[in-house]
Structure 1
């Protein structure tokens, strides 16, 4: 595959970022910084309705935001888990992602405001995500599910939760999940740089840096998440047979690229219908930060095609 330079619009933004100085990460300050960048409501993609709600689940009450793309008698459902290294992100920071997913898939999207590290101990956030999927499939939410597609999707650490939830549901005998969509997923929390060539090839200069993986994920790993546990590093699950059809989207200039692509290959080898698409010129986080670039917005359109090609099969 011929390498493509980083997209010029991404390069412009990367050039403005301060170099990492090795100082400790402050979750509260970083969350405040993210919150300050959320665009006002008037500037967001309009949908038929966007409603905040509470999902009553086996792990407690979980805040969710429900995106309805158009008026209809019934809908396919897509439960969305936002990224943020398990300690950042929320319903607001990824609101634009959920809106685009609703528009391009035609599905009702349920975005999950799961509990974050370091305040929440593993597996609180994962339990919240799985609990909301079970809630969505039940009658509690009055979501007008058509009984066909029940998809799960997530970016980065949210993609980690997608893979983990798919496996947990399978092992539980909960077989309603039809599709899993993983945007540049973080699937192996053992950050040994010898494990994947992309950890070295894309180590520096593309936003997410290989040296930053340990500190960014430390809030999760120091709060009960063991990287040897397949619920934490889903790539360590030995048997991937019987999991839902998968779309794995990776970014060319991402340290995590190769683990996502390996997971896609392993799913396919286990007999799971799988599509892996690498986005050239893209970096980690492009669905959240650079989807205004038309060729990267394509990830949402591709998700819609994937979910609608064989709805409910």
Structure 2
């Protein structure tokens, strides 16, 4: 199907990108200016800002209950954008639809924080969550990871780091249109050419947007930077990989899902027709894309491998 007409209308009215080098501070300020006021956000039983060690986190409790499964969420933003606030609506929707208590992570970002600071923050919060299960009313079962775009990159990398370190409490991983290969050779995946222009995120912009992260020491050949380059995928948690039809990074996400299945890891790949990169953050108000949260809930409440 073609690009969803409501998405196409928004993209057609986007201003031209600024000329010259990217300015992280200005771009972050522009993002934050679009955040809805608290009183207009999806209501939940409780939302609390606190810290996990030194890392800011925001904890979303969907309803009043005796115990909860837990979901640790990593926001996207090309490793230098995004925040607890810009992705607050995503975390709220995840909490509401899954019924899990969501812990959103305010990890350190490039270029101020060099690789692997953000990854270390994310893994540290996952460990903190497990260690503070009593205070969080964890039911001891589900401990899932979820992330969008570069947050999906962090999900795959953190799952691998935890596995390699013998931390086996992670039960599921959910990757929304992840960036899994930071080698942006346009001939590597067909979608990089098929969806190169006109869909919001463009292939030519991937390298400069990710340059802050790469220049901070993130080597695209490193499997913690490009998780698709990890040779042995056995033993990783079951995965839901959500891709978008008109995303330049569509094919790397789908290939990663195929490789997980080949390694004996249950992975469901779900391509959303008519969608573009970022649709969970930007267009989940469209009814057919709001269903991605229901799909996530179904996956997280299923037995591994189902």
> In which range does the TM-score fall when normalised by the shorter chain?
over 0.9
Q: Is the 8 A contact 2:60 2:102 kept in 1?
A: yes
| TM-score w.r.t. length of structure 2 | 0.98
Q: Return 5+ residue gaps in structure 1 as ranges.
A: none
Pick from 241, 247, 269 the counterpart of residue 262 of structure 2: 269
Q: Which stretch of structure 1 is more off in the superposition, 299-308 or 133-142?
A: 133-142
Pick from 5, 15, 19 the counterpart of residue 18 of structure 1: 15
Q: Give runs of aligned pairs for residues 74-113 of structure 1, distance below 5 A.
A: 74-113=67-106
| 1:18 CA drift (Å) | 2.2
Going from structure 1 to structure 2, the CA distance change for 1:141 and 1:135 (only over 3 Å counts) comes to farther
Q: Is the 8 A contact 2:238 2:304 kept in 1?
A: no
- The answer to whether structure 1 residue 53 and structure 2 residue 15 are counterparts is no
Query: Match of 2:209, SS?
Result: helix
User: What is the alpha-carbon distance in structure 1 between the residues aligned to residue 74 and residue 156 of structure 2?
Assistant: 11
Residues 266-306 of structure 1, C-alpha deviation per residue, up to 9 Å, x if partnerless? 00100001100000000000000000001011111100000
| 1:311 CA drift (Å) | 7.6
User: What is the alpha-carbon distance in structure 1 between the residues aligned to residue 51 and residue 235 of structure 2?
Assistant: 31
- The answer to whether structure 1 residue 217 and structure 2 residue 210 are counterparts is yes
Root mean square deviation of aligned Cα: 1.3
| Number of residues of Structure 1 aligned to a counterpart in Structure 2 | 306
| 1:309 CA drift (Å) | 1.7
Q: Give runs of aligned pairs for residues 111-130 of structure 1, distance below 5 A.
A: 111-130=104-123
Query: Match of 1:29, SS?
Result: helix
Q: Give runs of aligned pairs for residues 68-217 of structure 1, distance below 5 A.
A: 68-139=61-132, 142-217=135-210
Query: Match of 1:309, SS?
Result: coil
Pick from 277, 283, 297 the counterpart of residue 276 of structure 2: 283
Pick from 24, 30, 34 the counterpart of residue 33 of structure 1: 30
User: What is the alpha-carbon distance in structure 1 between the residues aligned to residue 229 and residue 57 of structure 2?
Assistant: 30
| 1:142 CA drift (Å) | 1.3
Query: Match of 1:298, SS?
Result: helix
| TM-score w.r.t. length of structure 1 | 0.96
Q: Is the 8 A contact 1:82 1:112 kept in 2?
A: yes
